[in-house]
Chains A and B, each alone.
Chain A
Amino acid sequence: MSKYFYDIWSSISSSMIGMGITLKHMFLIRKGNVTLQYPEEKWPRPDRNIGFEHEDYNVIRSRLHVDMDDCIGCLKCARACPVDCIKIDIIKVPKGSDIGTTSNDTKKRLLVPRFDIDMTECMYCNLCVYPCPEECIFMTGGPNSPKHPIDYEFSEYNREGLIYKFATVTEEEVQKYTEPELPEQPSEGESAD
């Protein structure tokens, strides 16, 4: 019998406490509001200061970008990708031809006529960024952030719009360096290395 009355009393008291909490939240809405009215208000990009040898840059996972001038075609990023969304073709150029140097003063030895990243397959794991010796593939907002600000709003209407083609090699260059098919000849000495 006493449990009956205790139950009634505890339901009323715990309900009152609960109602007090929601009422308090209702009146404190100006201070406690957590809604961000996107797209008029956007969440500020998180700043991050690593503090040592790298300059300040953001680590946010965003759209991948490749500075093709720096790419040496080592295929390390394509090998590191777990879902194989980076597709690269390379052409070996004969020794001594000049196709440019990267910004870190490395001489380029391989021509990259095709460098496609399919962002619909990308899982934003960041594993392709680390192996690159020239730091030319990164998520926007990373290194070179003044030139490439963070871009996470890159939705498209077609799937083809999200397959990014970064290669800047022209057709003539490809023709120049692609060797025509030679008949089998006994090789003696020099081979294009």
Chain B
Amino acid sequence: MGIVHGEEMVLNIGPQHPSTHGVLRLKVHTDGEVVSKIIPYIGYLHRCFEKHCENLSYEQIIPFTDRCDYIGSMNNNFGYVVAVEEMMDIQVSEKVEHIRVIMAELNRIASHLLALGTFGMDVGAFTPFLYMFRDRERILDLFEITCGARLLYNYMWVGGLSHDLPVGFVEKVYKFLDYFEPQLKEYNDLLMYNKIFIERTADVGVLPPEVAVNYGVTGPNLRASGIKWDLRKNESYSIYDSFSFEVPVGKGQMGTIGDCWDRYWVRAEEMKESIGIVRQALKTLPVEGDVHEAMPKKIRPPKGSIYKRTESPRGDLGFYIISDGSPSPTRVKLRSPAFTALGALSAIAEGWMISDVIAILGSLDIVLGEIDR
């Protein structure tokens, strides 16, 4: 009597799916419920960002960088603008630096709220998603009174900002921060320390540190695996070295180091740290100053190239810009952190069940706009 072999089933978690965070196709080979191979197919959201940049001038590229990682747009602007300013040796004023840090950190909080909310929804908890979006709306309202837009800002320009802060902004931010800090405890009680959630995510999808480094994973995913690497501290840019904040590193509180729960926990702690950074920046914000003073009349960087990386909510966002002295760059390349995270998915999700694949995908926090550009 021989051994009965079952056949492998090929399942398609298709481009249209409630929880693939965008248009992503995953071809999954499963044996019953257990996954044996995952192959991601991307490109459904490709909009030729890098080719467009060859025909646009430097200030016209900024709205396009917004649209790559549309959830953390301020950080995209920040990365690009810091790269061009370094190429042109422009020094911006203290006020501009402070405002940029405040906006980038508020956007980091908003992005993490969305990441955690959708992760909860993938796992089945519908309510925390709505609570987190309600708080995200307040941050978007703050952005709306500053630059008029809620999601795609075009706010940070080369050499300064597009608008100065409106009157009364600082009080509104303080009011928001005072309201928001107790909410974090409520989210933790509702979702993070819920036993069912812990069962779903602890020990699931463990990303070992060596595998993470080999795949080039950065950001909260890397920090959850135990490696302390944050570009705001290690390769400090702008005025981040004048603020004091901790870098949360996954400790394996509920399971192994590097599992999905750690990735959730690192993002929740980072929100707390961002609140601290915004408070410190508001305290030392200079009141006088013109945000348009350091803006060059014509943006023509000298011939050369630069690769500058900054810390976006998803990880290590890199801009590689080659210029030949004309008002439009020769080549702009965006190194996307979510791309490498998605690459690591096939390494860490094999051997788990289909429900776990969805949970792991949610914990990696990918944005297809950034992966496909």
Contacts and interface: CB of A to CB of B under 8 A. Distances in A.
Query: Is B a genuine binding partner of A?
Result: yes
Given A11-B195, A15-B196, A48-B166, A34 B149 contact: no
Nearest to B138: A34
Nearest to A124: B149
Given A49-B167, A58-B148, A82 B63 contact: yes
Taking residues whose C-beta sits less than 8 angstroms from the other chain, chain B's interface range is 20 to 34
A60 B148 contact: yes
A66 B194 CA distance: 56
B168 A14 contact: no
Q: Max chain B CB contacts within 10 Å: which of A11, A14, A46?
A: A14
Interface stretch (B185-193, B209-217, B232-240, B242-250): B185-193
Nearest to B127: A22
Contacts of B56: 82
A17 interface: yes
Interface string B270-302: 000000000000000000000000000000000
Taking residues whose C-beta sits less than 8 angstroms from the other chain, chain A's interface range is 20 to 34
A18 B56 CA distance: 51
Nearest to B144: A46
Given A124-B149, A125-B63, A127-B60, A14 B193 contact: yes
Contact of B195 (A15, A22, A60): A15
A161 B63 CA distance: 25
B64 interface: yes
A125 B137 CA distance: 21
Chain B interface main SS type: helix
A88 B193 CA distance: 60
Nearest to B150: A61
B163 interface: yes
A68 interface: no
Q: Max chain A CB contacts within 10 Å: which of B63, B186, B191?
A: B63
Interface string B150-179: 001010000000111011100000000000
Contact of B137 (A34, A58, A139): A34
A46 B140 CA distance: 12
A58 B149 CA distance: 11
A34 B63 contact: no
A14 B63 contact: no
Interface in A90-107: none
B163 A59 contact: yes
B148 to A, nearest CB: 4
Q: Max chain B CB contacts within 10 Å: which of A49, A50, A51, A59?
A: A59
Given A46-B144, A46-B145, 4 more contacts: A11-B196, A15-B196, A49-B166, A50-B167
| 6 A-B pairs with the lowest CB-CB distances in the bound complex, closest first | A59-B148, A11-B195, A125-B63, A82-B60, A49-B167, A51-B167
Interface of A: 7, 10-11, 14-15, 17-18, 21-22, 25, 34, 46-51, 58-61, 80-82, 123-127, 130, 139
